């Protein structure tokens, strides 16, 4: 632990400054339409600060309550300000790099080697994704607690104090709650004790029972959700597994081209060049590492190799049906000890050859920072991100689909439909491609209604219905297609057909809250108020579109003359979603009817501030009283 004390505060300041410079573009970045909605923007538990929801449920099959809690705190204090979320990702990354520098010196590295190793980690392009993508907060957050656990564990190995073991368990628990990839921690701890002691017989196995139990439940459940079981030829699965391992090593060593998505090389076969190269590479490296371990040639290389393999092991894939089997973000923490090894090598070269080598290393670091700066800019917004993917992988359907959504959000429906149409040229997922293009037509039509162009809107609605018909003809079991066709039929004034489609949507997915809400709206408009109430109650039970359902129930109760019940439901809508402008406006109408003009005006102004088009005449009538 003495080595860490030799680090100067200047090391930390320089490291932080370099990292901020390399990742400065992320501070101007927006949210992305790639999982940011699921994890943050539309995550009810985060938006309403529902601790029970965060700790009792998974997000996309991953248990990450601490990550969700960090989002909830930011949202509660700063709102949905992308700058804050990106800044916090960057600050967490800096914290990881600084903690690693301290850990490196605790392990025995001299300060210069620890600085070079942590700077390489902080500036490497391989870590750009977790820093630049808000959704990947879980990587930088779990890494902070993971490194804290390792630092405390090393202190325990040196002094055997129960306090250090207890704090290690605390950091391990927090790391697991941020991301289950921390399930590797017990394996890494065992490996590090063996690496320190130099013998398996000196490892105190009983010390690993608490952390093993701690990681067991969360890790096992998540692994069951995400493990890729061999499908078909075991030889093919083995080749894919070897290729994924080689991929991460190649990407780290050759940091030139990085992508948000990678395609699995096809076909898979031993004599395909990329797979043959992977087998040879992994074979040679494995033999060399075994020789290093057997003859005690380079203990730092052994640490790097063991830490890398054990910490990335659980994300190595072997399923040929999963075309996206690798991702840069999985290298985030596993690359740490490789960076330390390279830092030690760099320091040794400087000690042997002098300052000119130091100058070369500094230039290499700066080039890495420039490359990371450039790649960080790719994550600026959804259009920039998916355009980058399309340039390098022109057959990626997800890229065209997500860019189409981004164009739609910008009001560029012509470009959205162009991307949707491009996806129709691909052989797979044609039903989804028709569905997505129909949504673009439908959204464009609704914009035309706002622009008071009913002729254009009618044409676009009919194009949307034609695409939805085609999607249902290919896949008649997708509930969302019926839901949207029902709404298009409603807008084309085919009420019977609309209700028929919504019934089918609910039949295919009895837990489809949006379909119940839409059917309730149609029933309410048709005067079937009790049936509509039943649909809205079902929406509340399902937990989606809850604010809309409460607001709609309030409208029905107001129509029935039950003013108190109406206000209670409007209050509930606002409690669920304080940004629900329609509920404020509806409360304003009731306040006006009750003669409370001041409160009615306050509610109406609040509704207008939330985007509700409030008639100026209505406001003047309230102001005049």
Q: What angle do CA 31, 32, 34 make, to 5 degrees?
A: 140
Provide, rounded to the nearest whole percent, the portion of the chain with pLDDT above 70.
93
CA distance 515 to 202: 62
**Residue-level pLDDT at 160:** 82
Residue count of the chain: 625
Q: Which two tokens stand for residue 394?
A: 């022109």
**Residue-level pLDDT at 1:** 42
Question: Look-up: residue for tokens 């129960």?
Answer: 162
Q: How confident is the model at residue 226 (pLDDT cuts 50, 70, 90)?
A: low
Average pLDDT score over residue span 319-340: 83
**Does 395-510 carry CATH code 1.25.40.10?**
yes
**Residue-level pLDDT at 101:** 95
Q: Residue 424: which residues within 8 A CB-CB, separation 6 or more?
A: 430, 433, 434, 437
**Residue-level pLDDT at 322:** 61
Q: Which has the minimum average pLDDT: 206-220, 231-245, 246-260, 543-557? A: 206-220
Q: Which has the minimum average pLDDT: 30-44, 259-273, 577-591? A: 259-273
DSSP 288-323: HHHHHHHHT--HHHHHHHHHHHHHHGGG----TT-S
CA distance 14 to 122: 11
* More confidently predicted of 465 and 6: 465
For the chain, the domains span 2-378, 395-510
Q: How confident is the model at residue 2 (pLDDT cuts 50, 70, 90)?
A: very low
Query: Mean pLDDT of all residues in the chain?
Result: 88
**Residue-level pLDDT at 216:** 67
Phi, psi of 428 (to 5 degrees): -105, 165
417, 436 Cβ separation under 8 angstroms = no
Q: Which residues of 117-139 are buried (b: 16+ CB within 10 A; e: fewer)?
A: bbbbbbbbbbbbbbbbbbbbbbb
| Angle between helical axes of 495-508 and 513-525 (0-180°, round to 10) | 150
Q: How confident is the model at residue 88 (pLDDT cuts 50, 70, 90)?
A: very high
Query: Tell me, what DSSP letter sits at residue 126?
Result: G
414, 443 Cβ separation under 8 angstroms = no
Q: Which has the minimum average pLDDT: 46-50, 76-80, 562-566, 581-585? A: 46-50
Q: How confident is the model at residue 468 (pLDDT cuts 50, 70, 90)?
A: very high
**Residue-level pLDDT at 412:** 92
CA distance 311 to 398: 29
CA distance 313 to 304: 14
**Residue 213 zone, left/alpha/beta (φ > 0; ψ -120 to 50; rest):** alpha
Q: How far is CA 172 from the centre of its chain?
A: 22
Q: How confident is the model at residue 224 (pLDDT cuts 50, 70, 90)?
A: low
- Give the model confidence (pLDDT) of 405-448 as tens digits: 899 989 899 999 999 999 888 877 888 889 999 999 999 999 99
**Residue-level pLDDT at 313:** 85
Helix, coil or strand: residue 619: helix
Sign of the dihedral through C-alpha 400, 405, 409, 412? positive
**DSSP3 helix / strand / coil % (the chain, rounded to 5):** 80, 0, 20
CA atoms within 13 A on the CB side of 115: 19
CA distance 93 to 332: 10
**Residue-level pLDDT at 217:** 65
Question: Look-up: residue for tokens 């029972």?
Answer: 209
Q: How confident is the model at residue 332 (pLDDT cuts 50, 70, 90)?
A: very high
CA distance 183 to 162: 22
Average pLDDT score over residue span 58-81: 90
Query: Tell me, what DSSP letter sits at residue 24?
Result: G
Average pLDDT score over residue span 318-335: 80
Given a cut of 50, is residue 302 above it in pLDDT? Answer: yes
Average pLDDT score over residue span 271-288: 92
């Amino acid at each position: 632990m003495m080595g860490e004390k030799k680090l100067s505060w200047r090391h930390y300041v320089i490291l932080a400054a370099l990292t901020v410079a390399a990742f400065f573009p992320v501070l101007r970045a927006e949210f992305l339409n790639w999982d940011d909605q699921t994890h943050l923007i539309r995550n009810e538990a985060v938006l309403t600060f529902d601790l029970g929801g965060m700790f009792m449920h998974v997000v996309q099959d991953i248990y990450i309550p601490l990550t969700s809690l960090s989002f909830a705190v930011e949202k509660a204090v700063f709102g949905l300000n992308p700058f804050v979320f990106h800044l916090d990702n960057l600050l967490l990354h800096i914290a990881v790099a600084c903690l690693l520098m301290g850990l490196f010196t605790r392990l025995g590295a001299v300060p210069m080697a620890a600085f070079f190793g942590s700077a390489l980690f902080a500036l490497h392009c391989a870590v750009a994704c977790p820093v630049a993508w808000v959704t990947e907060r879980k990587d930088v957050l779990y890494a902070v607690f993971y490194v804290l656990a390792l630092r405390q564990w090393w202190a325990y190995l040196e002094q055997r104090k129960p306090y250090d073991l207890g704090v290690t368990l605390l950091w391990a628990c927090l790391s697991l709650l941020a991301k289950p990839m921390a399930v590797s921690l017990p394996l890494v701890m065992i490996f590090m004790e063996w690496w320190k002691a130099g013998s398996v017989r000196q490892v105190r196995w009983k010390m690993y029972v608490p952390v093993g139990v701690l990681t067991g439940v969360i890790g096992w459940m998540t692994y069951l959700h995400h493990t890729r079981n061999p499908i078909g030829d075991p030889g093919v699965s083995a080749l894919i597994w070897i290729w994924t391992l080689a991929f991460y090593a190649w990407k780290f060593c050759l940091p030139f081209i990085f992508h948000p998505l990678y395609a699995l090389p096809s076909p898979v076969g031993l004599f395909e060049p990329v797979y043959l190269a992977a087998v040879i590479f992994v074979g040679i490296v494995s033999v060399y590492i075994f020789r290093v371990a057997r003859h005690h040639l380079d203990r730092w290389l052994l640490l790097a190799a063991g830490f890398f393999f054990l910490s990335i092991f659980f994300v190595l894939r072997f399923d040929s049906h999963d075309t996206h089997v690798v991702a840069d973000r999985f290298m985030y923490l596993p690359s740490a000890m490789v960076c330390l090894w390279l830092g030690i090598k760099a320091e040794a070269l400087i000690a042997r050859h002098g300052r000119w080598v130091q100058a070369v290393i500094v230039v290499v670091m700066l080039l890495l920072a420039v490359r990371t700066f450039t790649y960080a800019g790719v994550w600026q917004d959804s259009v920039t991100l998916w355009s980058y993917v399309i340039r390098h992988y022109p057959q990626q359907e997800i890229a065209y689909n997500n860019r189409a959504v981004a164009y739609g959000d910008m009001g560029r429906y012509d470009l959205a439909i162009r991307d949707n149409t491009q996806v129709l040229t691909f052989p797979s997922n044609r039903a989804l491609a028709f569905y997505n293009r129909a949504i673009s037509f439908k959204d464009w039509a609704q914009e035309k209604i706002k622009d008071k162009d009913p002729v254009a809107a009618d044409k676009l609605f009919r194009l949307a219905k034609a695409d939805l018909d085609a999607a249902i003809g290919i896949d008649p079991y997708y509930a969302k297609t019926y839901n949207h066709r029902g709404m298009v039929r409603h807008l084309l004034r085919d009420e019977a057909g609309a209700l028929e489609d919504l019934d089918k949507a609910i039949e295919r997915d009895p837990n489809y809250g949006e379909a119940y809400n839409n059917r309730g709206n149609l029933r309410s408009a048709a005067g079937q108020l009790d049936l509509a109430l039943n649909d809205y109650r079902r929406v509340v039970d399902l937990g989606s579109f809850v604010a809309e359902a409460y607001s709609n129930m309030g409208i029905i109760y107001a129509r029935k003359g039950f003013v108190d019940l109406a206000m209670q439901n409007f209050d509930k809508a606002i409690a669920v979603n304080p940004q629900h402008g329609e509920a404020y406006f509806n409360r304003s109408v009731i306040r006006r009817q009750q003669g409370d003009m001041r409160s009615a005006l306050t509610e109406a102004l609040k509704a207008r501030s939330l985007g509700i088009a409030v008639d100026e005449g209505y406001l003047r009538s309230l102001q005049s009283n």
